[in-house]
């Protein structure tokens, strides 16, 4: 049986899923150091058997440990097929380099497509965009 999350761990996951996930910001919210936040994240990685915060957020959503972000905003424009091809790979935990290799494009193109999708969905960072992609898949 898996242990339950501490209040701090839940807060890290919840803040990260909604785009407030910088270590400095979370440390300020929790009233602790960035180093403590880093150690808490490492504990989450071990708990969920992952190596990235975005994967821990997806695992926490799966196991109902957190709710995840609210519905993505209805964008004024739809993401392009190219942007969606990258966004849908984010929950797999692939790095930009791995996504680039899989799609046979450059790492710079991956970064631009992530940035474009973040703008469209109003995601504050990669983890927030990953949570949106994981919860809602293609919203097209």
Highest mean pLDDT among 29-38, 73-82, 94-103: 94-103
Query: What pLDDT digit, counting tens, does each position of 117-136 carry?
Result: 988 888 888 888 888 877 76
- Predicted local distance difference test score (pLDDT) of residue 62: 80
Residue 106 pLDDT > 90, yes or no?
yes
Q: What is Dmax (Cα atoms) for the chain?
A: 45
Sign of CA dihedral 133, 71, 24, 108: positive
pLDDT-derived band of residue 100, with 50, 70 and 90 as boundaries?
A: very high
How far is residue 122's CA from residue 112's CA, in Å, rounded to a whole number?
Answer: 15
Cα–Cα distances (Å) from 127 to 4, 44, 90, 131, in that order, read 22, 15, 9, 6
Contact 54, 93 (CB under 8 A): yes
91-112 exposure pattern, b = at least 16 Cβ within 10 A, e = fewer: beebebeebbeeeebeeebbee
| Residue 139 pLDDT grade (very low, low, confident, very high; cuts 50, 70, 90) | very low
The secondary structure of 80-120 as a DSSP string is: PHHHHHHHTTGGGT--HHHHHHHHTS-HHHHHHHHHHHHHH
Name all domains of the chain by residue range, CATH numbers in brackets: 7-62 (1.10.10.10), 81-136 (1.10.10.10)
pLDDT reported for residue 42: 92
Query: Which pLDDT tens digit goes with each residue over 40-98?
Result: 999 999 999 988 888 888 888 888 887 766 655 566 677 889 998 998 898 888 899 99
């Amino acid at each position: 049986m898996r242990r339950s999350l501490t209040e701090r761990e839940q807060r890290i996951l919840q803040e990260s899923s909604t785009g407030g996930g910088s270590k400095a910001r979370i440390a300020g919210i929790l009233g602790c150091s960035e180093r403590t936040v880093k150690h808490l994240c490492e504990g989450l990685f071990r708990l969920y058997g992952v190596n990235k915060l975005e994967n821990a957020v997806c695992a926490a959503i799966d196991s109902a440990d957190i709710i995840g972000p609210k519905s993505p905003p209805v964008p004024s424009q739809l993401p392009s097929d190219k942007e969606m091809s990258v966004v849908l790979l984010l929950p797999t935990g692939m790095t930009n380099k791995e996504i680039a290799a899989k799609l046979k494009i450059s790492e710079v193109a991956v970064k631009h497509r992530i940035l474009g999708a973040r703008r469209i969905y109003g995601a504050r960072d990669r983890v927030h965009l990953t949570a949106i992609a994981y919860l809602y898949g293609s919203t097209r």
